[in-house]
Structure 1
Amino acid sequence: MDSPDSMGDMLVFYVGQHESNRPLPVSDQLVRHAQDCGYDMLTTPITTPHFHARVLTLLTSYNQAIAESSLPASTQPLPLVPALDHLDTPLAPSDTISQFIAFTSPWIDLASPDPLIAYLSRQVFNLEIAYAAFCGVVTVVVQGPRLSHSHNGLSQFARAIREALQVGGYIQLHVLLPMDGSHQIDDDEDMGNLARFARPEFVKQSASPAQSLDPFSGWTAWNAIRSICRYHSRLSLALDLPRRLPSLALQSRWYSEPLRLLNIPASSFLVNARGSYVLSKPHQLFIFRCMRLRSAPWLLLSDIGPIPGVNNPDMIMDYPGPLSPALAADASSPRSSMSSSPTPAEAAQMPKHAGKKNRNDPTPHLSYIRYLQRNQPVRSMIERFGGGFQDYLQSPLQPLTDNLESITYEVFEKDPIKYEWYERATEHALRDWVSEGKSTSSENGSVVIAVVGAGRGPLVTRALKASEVSGVPVQVFAIEKNPNAYVLLQRHNIETWGGRVTIVKTDMRAWKGPSLPDGTFGKVDILVSELLGSFADNELSPECLDGVQHVLNADHGISIPASYTAHLTPISSPRLYADLLSRSNMADSNAFDIPWVVMFQQIDYLSTLPPSPDASHAANGTKVNQLKVDMPLVPNVQTAWEFSHPLPPTILAQSSLRRGGSAVGGGGGFTGGDGANEHNVRFSKTTFPIQEQGVCHGLGGYFETVLYSGSEGKVELSTNPVTMEEKSKDMISWFPILFPLKAPLHVPANSELEVSMWRQTDDRKVWYEWLIESFITINDRRVRLGISDLHSSRSNGCLM
């Protein structure tokens, strides 16, 4: 598919219009007119300049009373902001109130170092939130804390937000912060801002100019706010996009947060050679990436000028309802809803409000955003397959104890890469078998192939095809314990495979091998299995293949896969942590001790590799619908451990000796049982350098496997984001695995995370344990900054 060919495949952009000083109250008529122009929503202030003037008068009167009084200021009661009256707010309950995005007053300062200003601001804030909730407002944007205050006022700002979430029980609060850490408001630009009235003795105490220049200061403030608010589900982020975007590391950090609004001011637009408003390539890439999120943010166009025609009553059209996003996407301007011949009023109005180069388009900024919507990059195979599964927590399968449903098998079988690669590996193995002159385990010279854990039979079909392509005759066995899948395998053998396959219903570990005419059991030349899980060994592939290895030809038997490795990297994922926190508070107290299967999307890699020299120029000259938006930074993914098959006979012999608890088998296992499976225990300790400050919420787990390595090279599969595109691009059978942390671990820039990971067993089940430590080096001395709990999935281990 070269381009989206329908609205169903196109990601919809919901676009709103925002004016910092909106001259008209947002009426139902204005909303309909804005929708007719192509907007999906409008913003509105909660209170009016009249209310602002009342608060300033109150503050002035208080300061004057203090100055004129001979008594200490502490004897004077703090000023109380009176209740709202009808002149103080433009809002009222209405049918269209849910289509408004309400803004709290930008002139308050909840984080003010002056307790008087903070007290007044909190009163205003509470009045506005309470009234907005009464009117039925759903979405409220709150101006973030003034970053010039450093961290001194963050706690009181966060506490005010936490109170507001209780006052407005259904309101979604979005904290508006600058992406690059710049100051949102200059004191000199707003004479009525309460921050200007903070008393000098308090301002001097909180001054920290160096901190305000840190690009990460906005994210640091946000991290403190949402942490104090305990990752509240109704607390989200509104992000100001500057004219020049910050580093990729900071962009990736913001991307991982709960983004609900992207605010694009007029100053962020460029004017191209044709006089049209456009956004830079970095802006396009960031927007495209955000719009692919499972919950895509809304877009706000800020201070780009008033809605066309609002000052001309003749142009305000009585539109019966909102345009659908599909129609709005193709409506580049209001002309699509006008007659082909505009009225004199329309003709006179449009040139008056349009720029010289855009006089035919009264909404050039909106038209450009709709252009981006129509020309967004094509979704990848994984994105199309995984729609709805992004950042959705799933418990790992337990195929040894549970009989899988047909739909589960069907999902795996839709993979366009996995089974083709298995067929290629089997074909290469058959060719090498013949070229190396190996003897077979059959009486007629056919190579004996056993598909163990056959499921619904896709690997059986591929083994037969590999035989046809290579010209090497085979004898195929399909081993499956699931009684329901066994029925389907029998039907396939009759209808599809022509009776060429021997179907055996049993646990592979109990199978004695191919039955021979003399009543004995033969051997297998090639064992083919698809027992790998998201972390390679988490669905007990090692234990299963150990149990069936006794049927494999001891001299030159082949296992497909031949080996597999597990891989780790620390990640930041506020969304997944919030989900787990909610689960642990409600019903699942062990939520943080379970390795979860997740299709990662809204995450940030805390440890990354140096960028490619050409990375910064990769998008130059590239068409919009060809831009790569999925992973701007390359994560540092390290190997935890490896398993290989078949195992040396000495290892299996020792395992057999330990099974049963004989004295010569040792004193028993470390964690219970006889220790017969302890050859499959693993431990790893890996260190990850952390380039920028962040919060670790857990570990992302992946795997790589060598299906077969022979004369024609290696046939490999990978879910590792570093190697997946090279080894098995577009493979969709496996999602990564998440090892979460109960308490997020804060890590500073230029520090290290040390990850300890264990694979444990008691001969009845297998589980994982993980622990993360944070270190920083100061004057050549390595100092531990923090350490996580020792997490253990023993209570939810995979049963053998």
Structure 2
Amino acid sequence: MASGGDLNPESPDYESGERRRPRLVLGQHDSGRTETLTAVQYKIIKDAGFDFATAPITNLQFYQRVLELYQSHLQEREDWVQKRGLKPSQIANPSLPGPVVPTLTNKDTSYHPNSSSYGGNDPVAYSSPWIDLASTDPVISNISRQVFNIEVAYAAFCGATSIIVPGPRSDENAKGVLQYARAIQEAFKVAPKLNLVIHMPMYREPGLDETAKTLSSIFAKSDVASNSGDIDLFTAWDSWNTIRTVCRYTNRLFVSLRIPRRVPEVDLQDRWFAEPLHYLTIAKSVFQTNKAGHPSLSRHHQDMINRYMRHKHTPWMFLTDVGPWFETPSRRSSDATVVEFPTIAQAEDKVKAMHKKNKANEAILKRNNMYPYVAYMRYLERQQPPYSAMETEQLLWFQDLLQSPLQPLSDNLESATYETFEQDPVKYERYETAIAEAMTEWRELNKPTSSATAKNPSSRELIVAVAGAGRGPLVTRALRAAERTGTAIQLWALEKNQNAYVYLLRQNESEWNNQVTVVKTDMRAWEGPRVKGEEEVITKVDILVSELLGSFGDNELSPECLDGIQNHIARPHGISVPSSYTAHLSPICAPRLYSDVGHKSLSDPNAFVTPWVSRLFAIDFVAAQKVPGHPRFQQAWEFVHPVEVSREDDFAAKHGRAAKFTTIGGGSMAGSSGINDHNSRQCHLKFVCRTRGVMHGLAGYFESVLYASQIPDSKKEPVEISILPDQIDRKCKDMTSWFPIFFPLRKPLYFPQDSELEVSMWRQTDDTRVWYEWIVEAYACVGENKRIKFGSSDMHSSRNIACLM
């Protein structure tokens, strides 16, 4: 990839590639603009290559009215103090009524419903940067809130779908941030259908905030603390977290992120990546000038933007203060505006003069209709890495989409569901490799075969069974493995779904040349394979193949299913593919997922105790990497097959079939016989968090060993599959059959830096169903060997929606 620093956007190399890449929607924002662009000006912006522009909701005339209102209030308060002979330092009566901002007039705004004037693409509403919702002065904060509500209500009336709102200027004033958050929450009630986008800096880099003076800085001591010494990178995120927490994670709240001149550490980039990004904003000061004199961004900026653009809903971008300029009152110095306080008549004169000078701007752009900043951003768009095999339109659509886990034992899947799974060639290639290696080593180790009988003791045909065959992809792979290794087999396909059974029969006739014995049965009720030519003889299975794994390994009851059939596996040499699988957990910050679960909880009381399957994407792993003994992804438990257990048949032989439904021992789950207790599991894991943050739930993954060499001292790598983020590319790159699982917390758990999160989870069963229970405890390190517990989640249990056996 060529460096943006050496590119001339007008060169012949400035051509787009053929492979699909994220689309960059580019907007223009002028921080000093106080009038909505006219239709002619908006056309100039569009001709310059921008897709949209921002527009202030109110103008300088309204600003002047608010200033005069506040000045009048100050004068009235001073008169009240003097009249009573009080000292100026004495507090006036707090019960005195404050100023009330009057309603808008047609001269207070040039923003109005006029989609046709802009070709159906309205400017994006931008709230006034001079109001101060976080002011410590109660009068200023009250006026600011009134102005904000007026602007929100009017923008909603005009048909705006969202408003960009400048965020608080300081993070140190906790009271002010809470006050700001409350004002945002109130605005959602003023306009029930409007989205609000908070314009926040990535961190408090000097010069990254709004430049317009606030009411507080004009009339009172500034509320904004000076940034001295080291900058705490996470304070801006803390303020954002406070705002969205107060607003209860509403899905109508988004963030517009100001990109700094200096790209921060990856931990902060990851944190913002997980947030609901609507816009990325880049000021003119962030751009560099390359050798050819053209604007460009550093490689670190390019990499960060490219990563943020991989979201399903890609954030839009707008450039701040890069032009093209228009001669409007908005281009005046902010200091001059504060000092002179132009009258309404003066402001009107400025607006009239503006129209005469805009024609010159239009003529310039006609000579070069591709603005240099836009040209560079379009180049950057084409230089993004193309979408990979894991970023098809279908997989992008599944990003952070909540899905209820499958219950294959109690539900019959549809053909389309099977077909979706079958589109993953990686999984089936790994299965074929595992089966082929098992067959090869069977011959090398000279193992006996279950097809050998008293009548035919020399038979070398392997008995292979595919349990839960579905539409037969594993059957096809087993046949291929037998062919490529030259192994004679007798193949059985078991499927309880009567509809899939019909499909398997058709496949056997049309594709498998009737080599397969298809049986409609629940694998747990199967009587076992019968030897070909000696159908009266029931024998054992040499290789049992299944794909019963879920996102957490065991969450679709693979252990229980295999328990019911593994008594048919030949002992001691029989093989199960897979031979083992492990479940893994990691705490995550996932505000989008939490918001979606909260929305579902309005109609589903079990939403926060449901383990949701989701292609986790907009998340931040809050646990530190490479902490000795406490990695980011930790194993919860393991299942191994086949395993010697007291199976249901053994239990029935001892106690009778009816005893299964009675309580035999006091130590088992109440009302159960305890025959599935060996599949219960529990874990207690500790994760170390170096930076402060908030946890919304647990991400669950699995790994599985399909086949490990049985030759003594063999150095062969086991055949594995994995969905662990740090292992999937090494073990089964581009496998798409399984998405991770998300165990939500009912309430987000905030933690400071250098915290430890301890996760306890149980896999529970009562012989008829399986469910999970989980709780998280948070500890702060207060000394070298001392810590205190400062928080804990509720105990969550999915028992009400347990997976039925």
Scaled by the length of structure 2, what TM-score is found? 0.86
Distance verdict in 2 for CA 1:559–1:23, change over 3 Å: same
1:380 aligned onto 2:404:
no
1:447 aligned onto 2:451:
no
Distance verdict in 2 for CA 1:4–1:768, change over 3 Å: farther
1:473 positional shift: 1.3
Deviates more, 1:393-402 or 1:26-35: 26-35
Aligned to 1:728: 732
1:509 aligned onto 2:520:
no
Instruction: Supply the AA of the counterpart residue of 2:636.
Output: A
Aligned to 2:772: 768
Aligned to 1:61: 72
1:627-649 deviation line (CA, Å, top 9, x unaligned): xxxxxxx9811000000000025
Within-5 A mapping of 1:10-21: 10-21=21-32
Within-5 A mapping of 1:403-442: 403-442=412-451
Deviates more, 1:533-542 or 1:370-379: 370-379
Aligned to 1:328: none
Matched residue of 2:182: which SS? Answer: helix
1:88 aligned onto 2:108:
yes
1:139 positional shift: 2.0
Q: Residues of 2 paired with 1:49 and 1:412: CA distance?
A: 60
Distance verdict in 2 for CA 1:207–1:388, change over 3 Å: closer
Aligned to 2:707: 708
Q: Residues of 2 paired with 1:694 and 1:165: CA distance?
A: 26
Matched residue of 1:581: which SS? Answer: helix
Q: Residues of 2 paired with 1:590 and 1:112: CA distance?
A: 41
Aligned to 1:750: 754
Distance verdict in 2 for CA 1:104–1:439, change over 3 Å: same
Contact 2:48/2:365, CA 8 A, preserved across alignment: no
1:500 aligned onto 2:515:
yes
1:778 aligned onto 2:782:
yes
Contact 1:4/1:378, CA 8 A, preserved across alignment: no
Aligned to 1:107: 130
Distance verdict in 2 for CA 1:442–1:294, change over 3 Å: same
Scaled by the length of structure 1, what TM-score is found? 0.87
Deviates more, 1:15-24 or 1:785-794: 15-24
Distance verdict in 2 for CA 1:424–1:785, change over 3 Å: same
Within-5 A mapping of 1:119-138: 119-138=142-161
Aligned to 1:291: 309
1:488-508 deviation line (CA, Å, top 9, x unaligned): 111111111111111111111
Instruction: Supply the AA of the counterpart residue of 2:766.
Output: D
Q: Residues of 2 paired with 1:108 and 1:303: CA distance?
A: 20
1:222 aligned onto 2:240:
yes
1:579 aligned onto 2:596:
yes
Instruction: Supply the AA of the counterpart residue of 1:477.
Output: W
Aligned to 1:462: 477
1:198 positional shift: 5.3
Instruction: Supply the AA of the counterpart residue of 1:305.
Output: G
**Which residue, 596, 616, 619 being the options, matches 1:600?**
616
Q: Residues of 1 paired with 2:535 and 2:79: CA distance?
A: 115
Q: Residues of 2 paired with 1:391 and 1:159: CA distance?
A: 28
1:304 positional shift: 0.4
1:390 aligned onto 2:399:
yes
Q: Residues of 2 paired with 1:310 and 1:348: CA distance?
A: 17
Q: Residues of 1 paired with 2:206 and 2:72: CA distance?
A: 30
Q: Residues of 1 paired with 2:375 and 2:670: CA distance?
A: 65
Q: Residues of 1 paired with 2:720 and 2:614: CA distance?
A: 22
Q: Residues of 2 paired with 1:380 and 1:4: CA distance?
A: 17
Contact 2:170/2:225, CA 8 A, preserved across alignment: no
1:573-632 deviation line (CA, Å, top 9, x unaligned): 1111111111112x1011011101000111111113149xxxxxxxxxxxxxxxxxxxxx
1:142-162 deviation line (CA, Å, top 9, x unaligned): 110121552121221111111
Distance verdict in 2 for CA 1:148–1:418, change over 3 Å: closer
Q: Residues of 2 paired with 1:512 and 1:748: CA distance?
A: 58
Q: Residues of 2 paired with 1:592 and 1:566: CA distance?
A: 21
1:117 aligned onto 2:125:
no
Q: Residues of 2 paired with 1:135 and 1:347: CA distance?
A: 28
Q: Residues of 1 paired with 2:198 and 2:546: CA distance?
A: 51
**Which residue, 250, 269, 273 being the options, matches 2:268?**
250
Contact 1:211/1:217, CA 8 A, preserved across alignment: no
Aligned to 2:350: none
Aligned residue pairs, count: 731
**Which residue, 465, 488, 498 being the options, matches 1:473?**
488
Instruction: Supply the AA of the counterpart residue of 1:366.
Output: V
1:484 aligned onto 2:507:
no
Matched residue of 2:571: which SS? Answer: coil
Distance verdict in 2 for CA 1:348–1:472, change over 3 Å: same
1:30 positional shift: 2.5
Distance verdict in 2 for CA 1:98–1:362, change over 3 Å: closer
Q: Residues of 1 paired with 2:201 and 2:55: CA distance?
A: 20
Q: Residues of 2 paired with 1:794 and 1:665: CA distance?
A: 22
Instruction: Supply the AA of the counterpart residue of 1:648.
Output: E
1:172-211 deviation line (CA, Å, top 9, x unaligned): 1101110013466789x65x521214545x95xx969679
1:785 positional shift: 1.1
1:336-370 deviation line (CA, Å, top 9, x unaligned): xxxxxxxx98997359xxxxxxx967511111111
Contact 1:398/1:539, CA 8 A, preserved across alignment: yes
1:782 positional shift: 2.1
Instruction: Supply the AA of the counterpart residue of 1:418.
Output: K
1:661 positional shift: 4.1
Aligned to 1:172: 195
Distance verdict in 2 for CA 1:602–1:372, change over 3 Å: same
1:664 positional shift: 12
**Which residue, 357, 364, 376 being the options, matches 1:368?**
376
Q: Residues of 1 paired with 2:362 and 2:746: CA distance?
A: 63
Q: Residues of 2 paired with 1:130 and 1:86: CA distance?
A: 15
Q: Residues of 2 paired with 1:308 and 1:156: CA distance?
A: 36
1:380 positional shift: 2.2
Question: Matched residues, percent identical?
Answer: 47
1:521 aligned onto 2:531:
no
Contact 2:325/2:361, CA 8 A, preserved across alignment: no
Q: Residues of 1 paired with 2:499 and 2:587: CA distance?
A: 40
Q: Residues of 1 paired with 2:705 and 2:750: CA distance?
A: 36
Contact 1:685/1:754, CA 8 A, preserved across alignment: yes
Q: Residues of 2 paired with 1:346 and 1:30: CA distance?
A: 9
Q: Which runs of 5+ in 1 are unaligned?
A: 312-343, 352-358, 612-633
1:721 positional shift: 0.6
Aligned to 1:555: 572
Q: Residues of 2 paired with 1:308 and 1:426: CA distance?
A: 71
Matched residue of 2:529: which SS? Answer: coil
Contact 1:671/1:761, CA 8 A, preserved across alignment: no
